[in-house]
Structure 1
């Protein structure tokens, strides 16, 4: 007929992610912090969310189940990382003598550069102080 199809963008059903719900996220993070490291797995998280958290937050969350894969991605997005436990110690190399010597040289070099740089001052950095 030579007519354009109706515009359909934005007409689909919109789903809110649970990770955007502040009460849900805070409750889960608090629960995860209370668990031992070995218990912070997605199956335990799924059980907590499905059996305890969903019934408590039923007023504004319309879901009643969650996948283990989704729990795993939520745990990762909240900053919890899986690390294999190994024997040994963590050695932070910022105190090694060669690193300290390099940092001292770097600071001196930066102070030399600063003498030749313009300096911006004022509440909105509107004034320029020439070297």
Structure 2
């Protein structure tokens, strides 16, 4: 069973993503959140968990879907596949870095930073050993 329906998605976030795009992005976004949360909701029933935490998880899932949609990619390789420089005739264009003096681009993360904003304080980012 998916963590989020398209109707819930439209209620939680105001982004122009149609149902087909949502259905294409949901599985990978769910896998990313499963990894970040140590597969918490794969082991625990969302219907029986604290509704505040479930809502935060769903908001994080929406943020991840929006991130994938805005980048037009769902894999690390696709996200970071922009060339450093390219030339057309005598014109050369460089994608210089804001942070690296050598000009080399930093790689973009697979997980949206907003995911951590939503999950912070929920306990879902806990990486210690737990007894289930």
Relative contact order higher in (CA < 8 Å, ≥ 6 apart):
2
With structure 1 as the length reference, what TM-score do the two structures score? Answer: 0.23
Choose 1 or 2 for highest CA Rg: 1
TM-score by length of 2: 0.23
